[in-house]
Amino acid sequence: MPDYTVTIPFALSLINIVLGIFILYGRRDWSTRVYALFVVFVALWCFSIGMIFYLESSPLVMFAINLNYISAVGTVLLFLIFTKLFPRKTWNLKTISIVSLPIFLIAALILLDPSLIIKSFVSRTDFRIEYMTYAIYTFVVYTYILSAFYSLYSSYRESKDYTEKSQTIVVALGTTCGYLVLLIPNIILPWFLDYSYIWIGPIASLTMTTAIGYAMSKHHLFDIKVIATELFTFLLWLILLIRVLTSDSYGDALVNGLILVFAIFFGILLIKSVIREVKNREKIEGLATELAVANDELNSANVRLKGLDKQKSEFVSIASHQLRSPLTAIKGYVSMLLEGTPSYGDLKAGKITEAGYEALDRVFKSANALVLIIEDLLNISRIEQGRMQYTMTDFNLRDMVKEIADNMTIVAREHKLDLTFGSNDDGNYTVNADSGKIRQVIGNIIDNSIKYTPSGSVKISLHHSDEGSVVVAVKDTGIGIPASVIGTLFQKFTRSEGAGKVNVTGTGIGLYIAQEIMKAHGGKIWIESPGEGKGSTFFIEFIKQKTQMTENTKTTQSTNVQSSDKFV
């Protein structure tokens, strides 16, 4: 049977070296380097303990003992430095050098005088110790260890980051367990001249090195679910490993070994899947936070935009009002001149030539067009500010449409277009609406049909839909509308591509206002067109509503309240 007092320290020395290399492989920052050096010193310390037992009866044992003390001070120094670099760097090179000085001094003194601490050594229970130096040595070692713990405590308190806090806790827990376990066999018992149990120290050291390694490698993942799974799996492996090592026969060892291999394989799979799940969850949580932030930004942008929109509407409203007064003056004077009013006050207009008349007529028409545009702009700001007022009355839509059509016939004729009006039936075309606004809507649609029809006809008709609502249809043989833009024309300032060629001065406001007015009436407006160059038909629908006819509007003898059809 191999002597475990020798094999255990040697094995742990090897394990620590492998661990150090493994950790250093992934990262290259200063805290990792210090940690790697710490692990090397721990490995050296384990190795020296193995050597003490191995060389117990040889004169070389003094070398192993001194190596043990030197490597021990090395580990505590590196542990302290590590806590000042991880999770966050708080020490610079100068501070590190100053703090390292006493340790270098101790190491140098031990090297210079090999019997500084242990005067003579015969066996693990028979040796002489220099109490004074051993006391100073222990004091220095514990000062460094306690400073390191205080440093961990400060990082925990100062850190606001959950991961950093968790990392600090893991380091503190691992190292506390380690130092507590080795306190008695490696520090206290030697005081009483007993080296027999110092081989326990290397086992305790593994707790420290793995805890620190774990804290560092789990830089981005400290989740209780992951930790629990890992602990459970490691425990399972440990139990299985012990079973392998304590197997009675070769056959048992083989079976237990196989079980261990399977457990390692599936354990790794399990840990990986839990990590993946947690990572996904973190990702989703991250995305949700990003979304919430984006949403907040969007909301505030929306509030800003609404504010701007309001300011814009106010500006348009004010500007339009300001434009209206001088325009009225222009129109008034030009109309006087056109009508041949000879004088205005003391001013004599004089005779206007035919060319002058023509020019003034153009000025008058342009001023009229401008008045309409300004009126549209004012309507837009009224709609957007919710100031559009509607006065609802009952009137016969058929009469109104016919009147507008009649008025437009002259304009259509000027454009060499055939404008006709007709209704499919003589039914009830009474609607309850704001007659002025509806006149504006229908006038605009017919006007558009004339503007956007280079040749052919404009047919205006009225009919009842299957549901019984009243529909005005304005069909032309004009430029038509491509399907791709048909849905966008009711938006503010939107025109189709071909529109500019036929009518240069359009603003793209009319249809928007028409739609808003129809919406306010609970009605509808829409376009149908087979495509570009194939004409289009505009529909304006007044939805039928059952309303109660009151006593004073009845013409019949009945005293009962009657129901009648109305369109709004």
Our CB check for ligand ADP shows the closer of 57 and 455 to be: 455
Shortest Cβ 511–ligand ADP spacing (Å): 3
CB burial string 79-118: b at 16+ within 10 A, e below: bbbbbbbbbeeebeeeebeebbeebeebbeebeeeeebbb
**CB nearer to ligand ADP: pick between 317 and 448:** 448
On the CB side of 93, how many CA atoms lie within 13 Å of its CA? 1
Nearest alpha carbon to residue 397 among 510, 543, 562: 543
Q: Which helix (H) or strand (E) holds 129?
A: strand 126-129
Q: Which residues bind ligand ADP (CB under 6 A)?
A: 444, 448-449, 452, 476, 478-479, 481, 489, 495-496, 499, 506-511, 536
CB of residue 444 to ligand ADP, shortest distance in Å: 6
Least distance from ligand ADP to the Cβ atom of residue 505, Å: 7
Q: Which CB, 54 or 421, lies closer to ligand ADP?
A: 421
Residue 382 CB, nearest distance to ligand ADP (Å)?
17
Nearer to ligand ADP, 57 or 491 (CB): 491
Q: Which is nearer to ligand ADP, 217 or 503 (CB)?
A: 503
Question: Least CB distance from residue 327 to ligand ADP, whole Å?
Answer: 18
Give dist(CA 489, CA 508) in Å, integer: 8
Nearest approach in angstroms of CB 538 to ligand ADP is 6
- Other Cβ atoms less than 10 A from the Cβ of 233: the count is 19
Task: Return the number of the residue (223 or 476) whose C-beta is nearest ligand ADP.
Answer: 476
Task: Give me 296's structure tokens.
Answer: 């907040």
What does the block give as tokens for 518? Answer: 């129809």
Measured from the CB atom, the residue of 52 and 450 that comes closer to ligand ADP is: 450
Nearest distance, CB of residue 459 and ligand ADP, angstroms? 12
Question: Sign of the CA dihedral 360, 365, 371, 377?
Answer: negative
Tokens 């806590």 belong to which residue? Answer: 83
* CA-to-CA separations, 416 to 88, 474, 558, in angstroms, rounded: 86, 17, 53
| Least separation in angstroms between CB 508 and ligand ADP | 4
6 vs 481 by CB, closer to ligand ADP: 481
CA distance 172 to 186: 20
The CB-of-380 to ligand ADP minimum distance in angstroms stands at 11
Q: Do β-strands 562-567 and 544-549 pair in parallel, antiparallel, or remain unpaired?
A: antiparallel
Q: For ligand ADP, give the closer residue by CB, 87 or 478.
A: 478
Nearest to ligand ADP of 495, 554 (CB atom): 495
- Give the 3-state secondary structure of residue 275: helix
Residue 427 vs 533, nearer CB to ligand ADP: 533
| Cα dihedral 95/97/98/100 (nearest 10) | 120
Q: How far is CA 40 from CA 24, 37, 78, 266, 547, in A?
A: 11, 5, 10, 31, 94
Residue 452: CB atoms within 10 Å:
22
Distance CA 507, CA 386 (A): 22
| Cα distances (angstroms) measured from residue 474 to each of 447, 462, 536 | 10, 9, 8
Are the CB atoms for 196 and 188 separated by under 8 Å?
no
Q: Which is nearer to ligand ADP, 225 or 365 (CB)?
A: 365
Least Å distance between CB 436 and ligand ADP? 18
Strands 343-344 and 347-348: antiparallel
Report the candidate in 322, 21, 52 with the shortest Cα–Cα distance to residue 186: 52
Q: How far is the CB of 451 from ligand ADP (least distance, A)?
A: 6
At its nearest, how many Å lie between ligand ADP and the CB of residue 361? Answer: 22
Residue type, 377: L
